[in-house]
Amino acid sequence: MAAYPRVRCASGNALAAAITTAGILIVPGAADRTITVVGGWMRSNGNTVGGATSVNVSDSSSTNEVMVGTAASMTNTTILREGTSGMTCTKLGTALTKGDGLLLKGIDATVTTTTSVDYCVYYTVTGG
């Protein structure tokens, strides 16, 4: 019987002021492991996202933008999922840089206007 990597979930709520261009580490990397994001969603709480042009999930070296939620589409309590308007997910199912973790970050500026952002990222880990 073949062994398949199990799907994991990184979920939480990040205060807007903490979602900077440097990002918040939501999944730590490991030198001998590779992360592949397979789905997820984001939701603004309190107002439409301001300041940043988008809220992104990327690998921790910031070379692969996996999920890109356009700020104007991140209105209060609207859930942006992969495949919906306002969410671009060009790297789903793509193995990211070995050893990298995952970041939640604001693009071009720190997130403002809203109170916080909920996130849920489904991923697998291989290697090790």
d(CA 125, CA 107): 26
The one-letter amino acid code at 25 reads L
What is the value of pTM for the model shown? 0.93
> Domain segments of the chain: what residues?
13-127
Band the pLDDT of 2: cuts 50, 70, 90: low
Q: What would the pLDDT profile of 75-95 be if each residue is shown by its tens digit? A: 999 999 998 999 999 999 999
Whether the Cβ atoms of residue 82 and residue 7 lie closer than 8 Å to each other: no
d(CA 40, CA 43): 11
* Residue 62, pLDDT score: 83
